[in-house]
């Protein structure tokens, strides 16, 4: 329900209208903040956001500045003008180039809040790019909090730990989940090899097929590696269905029917797809990411945590639960309870509401804005290995680094 009373303040949430976890956070939290009395507008700028806009995710409260412009300095200047004209109080920056460039030129009274959506060094560098200008960095997991201090020396006082949350009433557990027969697997998210390691999915399912398992795999989502993934799944095409991107209400029946949610990710924040599937009673089989997935999943109780990049470990966990449907049913109930008790929409909105109210009471950081004419593109440090190392090798480095709980 939308709030009809006086506004607590105006928020510009910088996000692109595409199928992504960042957009999910905006839609869930932004909607909750509107109901709590905040005036929240999603905003983006430039050619990329216009070209990549997905009609499924363009909402009435979405504004695209300077459609067709590829000049990020111009986009940044237009954003600053827009913020001044709309009398914005808080800017949520989620890493778009135009917002990073605009940050030093924002009016002094504007509170700048950045957000760490995953746990890469590059993501941390974007969140802390204008640390003196930033009021808070929102993190989702204890790992991100520790990494920011260890990697970039960010003081804990600059951070706000706010794990994700969903409206649990929209994700009731399925009633048609069979307790015997075919095992139903689901992947729900972006089809991206670099982060989600989706090319491990065919390797896992080949092991399941070789072991004689009776299963079907529904893949919901889209992304840059869909074509490669479809080719890799070709020998198992009768056991796999690609559904493309779906809205939550379209995906819900598949989540309620599936027994297991398979997520071989290399790095994460709190995966909102993980919360959504668990709320439906779908048991997660997910990579063990220290301080992140183990912050959500209790291994052996509400799901299984597997070694990053190890297809055999994922397949073993799936086969064990397929063979013990009573245990699987108990874990399904436990997964739902975890979300109902710890990761609710009410809690995440309350946490953001409290943060925003506190920011508008405390003085903004002492900062003199630069003139719009002096806006420059943000130049983030980049490790040398990122510049020359092939994609496959980068992903291998990320996989092994995470096995030793190191962020790269």
Question: Do 151 and 44 share a structural domain?
Answer: yes
Q: What is the pLDDT along the chain (408 residues), one digit of tens a residue?
A: 455 567 999 999 998 766 566 777 888 888 899 999 999 999 988 865 444 555 555 555 678 899 888 899 999 999 999 999 999 999 999 888 899 999 999 999 999 999 997 888 888 999 999 999 999 999 999 999 999 999 899 999 999 999 989 889 888 887 667 778 899 999 999 999 999 999 999 999 999 999 999 999 999 999 999 999 999 999 999 999 999 999 888 999 999 999 999 999 998 888 889 999 999 999 999 999 999 999 999 999 999 999 999 999 999 999 999 999 999 999 999 999 999 999 999 999 999 999 999 999 999 999 899 999 999 987 766 555 556 667 777 777 777 667 767 776
Question: Do 131 and 172 share a structural domain?
Answer: no
Q: Label residue 252 exposed, middle or buried (CB < 10 Å: 0-12, 13-18, 19+).
A: middle
* CB contact at 8 A, 116 and 94: no
Question: Do 243 and 336 share a structural domain?
Answer: yes
287 in any annotated domain: yes
56 in any annotated domain: yes
Question: Do 256 and 180 share a structural domain?
Answer: yes
277 in any annotated domain: yes
Q: What is the pTM of this model?
A: 0.82
Question: Do 250 and 216 share a structural domain?
Answer: yes
Question: Do 225 and 138 share a structural domain?
Answer: no
CATH number at residue 16: 3.40.50.2000
- For 301-317, how does the pLDDT look when each residue is reduced to its tens digit (9 = 90+)? 999 999 999 999 999 99
Question: Do 272 and 286 share a structural domain?
Answer: yes
Question: Do 43 and 187 share a structural domain?
Answer: no
Question: Do 194 and 121 share a structural domain?
Answer: no
- The rounded distance, in Å, linking the Cα atoms of 161 and 186 is 29
Question: Do 324 and 181 share a structural domain?
Answer: yes
394 in any annotated domain: no
Cα angle, residue 276 at apex, residues 346 and 45 outer, rounded to 5°: 80
402 in any annotated domain: no
Q: Which domain does 252 fall in, by range?
A: 168-342
- Name the 3-class secondary structure at 133: coil
Cα angle, residue 6 at apex, residues 5 and 11 outer, rounded to 5°: 115
Q: What is the pLDDT of residue 1?
A: 47
Q: How many domains does the chain have?
A: 2
Residue that is written with structure tokens 């399925």 in the block: 174
Question: Do 291 and 220 share a structural domain?
Answer: yes
Question: Do 282 and 150 share a structural domain?
Answer: no
The residue among 213, 266, 211 whose CA lies nearest residue 239 is 213
* CB contact at 8 A, 79 and 45: yes
Q: Label residue 260 exposed, middle or buried (CB < 10 Å: 0-12, 13-18, 19+).
A: buried
Q: Which two tokens stand for residue 336?
A: 């739902």
Q: What is the pLDDT of residue 46?
A: 84
400 in any annotated domain: no
- The rounded distance, in Å, linking the Cα atoms of 340 and 160 is 22
The distance of Cα 205 from the centroid of its chain, to the nearest Å, equals 25
């Amino acid at each position: 329900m939308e709030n009809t009373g006086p506004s607590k303040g105006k928020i510009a949430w910088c996000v692109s209208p595409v199928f992504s976890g960042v957009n999910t956070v905006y839609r869930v939290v932004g909607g909750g903040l509107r109901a709590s009395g905040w005036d929240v507008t999603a905003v983006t700028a430039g050619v990329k956001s216009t070209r990549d806009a997905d009609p499924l995710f363009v909402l009435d409260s979405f504004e695209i500045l300077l459609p067709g412009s590829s000049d990020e300095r111009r986009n940044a200047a237009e954003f600053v003008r827009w913020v001044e004209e709309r009398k914005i109080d808080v800017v949520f920056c989620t890493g778009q180039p135009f917002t990073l460039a605009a940050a030093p030129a924002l009016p002094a009274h504007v509170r700048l809040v950045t957000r760490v959506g995953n746990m890469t060094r590059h993501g941390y560098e974007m969140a802390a790019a204008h640390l003196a200008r930033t009021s808070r960095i929102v993190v989702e997991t204890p790992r991100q909090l520790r990494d920011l201090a260890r990697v970039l020396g960010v003081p804990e006082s600059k951070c706000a730990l706010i794990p994700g949350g969903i409206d649990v009433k929209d994700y009731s557990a399925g009633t048609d989940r069979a307790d015997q027969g075919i095992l139903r697997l689901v992947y729900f998210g972006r089809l991206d090899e670099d982060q989600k390691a989706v090319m491990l999915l065919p390797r896992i399912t080949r092991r399941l097929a070789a072991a004689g398992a009776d299963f079907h795999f529904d893949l919901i989502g889209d992304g840059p590696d869909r074509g490669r993934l479809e080719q890799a799944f070709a020998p198992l095409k009768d056991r796999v269905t690609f559904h493309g991107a779906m809205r939550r209400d379209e995906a819900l029946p598949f989540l309620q029917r599936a027994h297991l949610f398979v997520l071989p990710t290399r790095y994460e924040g709190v995966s909102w797809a993980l919360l959504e599937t668990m709320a439906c009673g779908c048991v997660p089989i997910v990579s063990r990411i220290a301080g992140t997935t183990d912050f959500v999943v209790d291994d052996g109780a509400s799901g299984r945590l597997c070694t990053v990049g190890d297809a055999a470990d994922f397949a073993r966990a799936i086969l064990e639960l397929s063979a013990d449907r009573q245990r699987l049913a108990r874990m399904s109930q436990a997964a739902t309870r975890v979300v109902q008790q710890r990761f609710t929409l009410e809690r995440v909105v309350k946490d953001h509401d409290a943060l925003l109210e506190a920011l508008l009471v405390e003085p903004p950081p002492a900062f003199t804005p630069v003139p719009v004419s002096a806006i420059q593109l943000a130049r983030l440090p980049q490790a040398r290995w990122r510049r020359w190392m092939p994609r496959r090798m980068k992903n291998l480095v990320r996989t092994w680094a995470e096995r030793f709980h190191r962020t790269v």
